[in-house]
Structure 1
Amino acid sequence: MKPTLLFDLDGVIVDNTPYQARAFQLLFRDLGLTTNARKLLARLNGMPATNILKTVFRHPVPAKQLKDYAGQREFLYRTLYWSKRRAMPGLVAFLEAARAAGFKIGLGTGSPPETISYILDHLDLRRYFDVVIGKDDIARGKPHADTFSVGAARLGARPEDCVVFEDAVLGEQAAYKAGMRCVAVASTLPAKAFQNPLTVIKDFTGFTPKRLLELLEQQPTAPKPDKQRAQRQYMQL
């Protein structure tokens, strides 16, 4: 059985996390908040923006207000990243090789359609993905399993045959909760931040489908999710 590949978007398809962090920081400055955005994303990256924003206030904030803040952050991010959009080094070569090898390929992210299009369509990457799962396709975002479970179901793949590519700790936990194995992309976090990935890559340069198959033989089953690790990501705020 050939593996099915499921890719996260931010920090995996593109190396955009520093721009995401900068956008959050500018929003926090405007709101009079002192939260460190880089440290915040190191813990909560992978969650929908409204969920991330909910954690930085000491008082309840109405859902509509959180959505407005998320929209402001999205505008700031797109402005900052507009001329910087580039595919992760080696990504296109790997996707082309994987498709040539007959792998099914999907994308799973907590982002809304317009944010997905901002990356995939601008960089002409959508053609490499058999399915694209976004915020509107799932009930619960990462670290819940929904993003990857829905992607696998739409691809007609069993969880044990799926490999997730993730740059976030909560995304890795979502993969394990879905019963899938994971390749960690250390675009923003150190290798030691991840629990038990197949391997840790900085980007896709030199990474091949053959190497992936070798790694799968070395780890025949998906690790169990580390509930304490996922919970700590929320608590250390």
Structure 2
Amino acid sequence: MTSNSLPYALIFDMDGTIINNTAIQARAFQLLFRDLGLTTNARRLLERLNGMPATNILKTIFTHSVPEKQLKEYAAQREFLYRVLYWDKRKEVAGLTQFLQAARSAGFKLGLGTGSASDTISYIIDHLDLRRYFDVIVGTDDVDKGKPHADTYSRTCEKLGIPPERCLVFEDAIMGEQAAYKAGMRCVALTTSIKAEKFQAPLHVMKDFTEITPAQVLELLEQSPATPKPNKELAQRNYMKL
């Protein structure tokens, strides 16, 4: 079977992509920082690093070495704060379910690739009854290195059985966009977390899934076959070498 006889696959990030939760994530980090006596601005931090595992994000704010066990405890505290803050606010991004249904009907394979652990994935997608739409779900428990490394998206397309050049990633974060390019995939950007000009080279930029259809996605893929190379300035800064 040739590559061109295979379907296309659409791979979705979770936080900030299928749900608009970046402000809540930032608030949870900010409360943690306050408890630790830190003055780091969580919203600005997430503009740069959103999409990475929480322990890796936390590594960047300390001027001294912090044991991995302690970082995991801080990350667990942040996760608890996030869940309390987000409990009654869990809601999919506008148009998501209709888009997923239409994409499946159009023959696309669908995957979820996130830096979250399995219990956090369940907290979102099972509450919103979204699991049934995804052929494959990959989280931080399934890979060695999180975003901006390619592992999350490479593993997702491997499990889908679709080559990377036939995969399109939906992302809201710089780290996720770079991970897509490192994995040899193209990207559509959502402006739920950062402004459009912050991204490198997405095929399309949108605020939610009411602004695109599977037919338009197919047209974008057919018209723009080349995958951008990762931007060294964005993908290889010191705080990303984790």
Q: Partner amino acid for 1:125?
A: L
**Candidates 106, 127, 137, aligned match of 2:111:** 106
Q: Partner amino acid for 1:71?
A: A
Q: Partner amino acid for 2:141?
A: D
**Structure 1 segments of 4 or more deviating over 4 A?**
none
> Does the 8 Å contact 1:89/1:203 carry over to 2?
yes
Q: Partner amino acid for 2:66?
A: V
- 1:233 Cα deviation (Å)? 8.0
Encode CA deviations 1:98-129: one digit per residue, 9 max, x unaligned.
00111100000111101000000000000000
Q: Distance in 1 between matches of 2:177 and 2:9?
A: 16
The within-5 A match list for 1:25-64 is: 25-64=30-69
Find the residue that maps to 1:56 and give its secondary structure.
coil
Find the residue that maps to 1:5 and give its secondary structure.
strand
Q: Distance in 2 between matches of 1:19 and 1:8?
A: 17
The percent of aligned pairs where both chains have the same amino acid is 68
Q: Distance in 1 between matches of 2:138 and 2:162?
A: 14
The aligned counterpart of 1:23 is 28
Q: Distance in 1 between matches of 2:160 and 2:111?
A: 8
Q: Partner amino acid for 2:163?
A: R
The aligned counterpart of 1:2 is 7
Q: Distance in 2 between matches of 1:129 and 1:233?
A: 34
Find the residue that maps to 1:205 and give its secondary structure.
helix
**Candidates 200, 206, 214, aligned match of 1:209:** 214
- 1:229 Cα deviation (Å)? 1.7
> Does the 8 Å contact 1:43/1:233 carry over to 2?
no
Q: Partner amino acid for 2:78?
A: R
Matched, 1:131 2:136: yes
Matched, 1:221 2:223: no
> Does the 8 Å contact 1:44/1:233 carry over to 2?
no
Q: Distance in 2 between matches of 1:24 and 1:72?
A: 9
Q: Which runs of 5+ in 1 are unaligned?
A: none
- 1:218 Cα deviation (Å)? 2.5
Find the residue that maps to 1:163 and give its secondary structure.
strand
The aligned counterpart of 1:168 is 173
Q: Distance in 1 between matches of 2:89 and 2:205?
A: 25
- 1:232 Cα deviation (Å)? 4.0
Q: Partner amino acid for 1:226?
A: N
Q: Distance in 1 between matches of 2:220 and 2:157?
A: 20
- 1:203 Cα deviation (Å)? 0.6
Which stretch has the larger CA shift, 158-167 or 225-234? 225-234
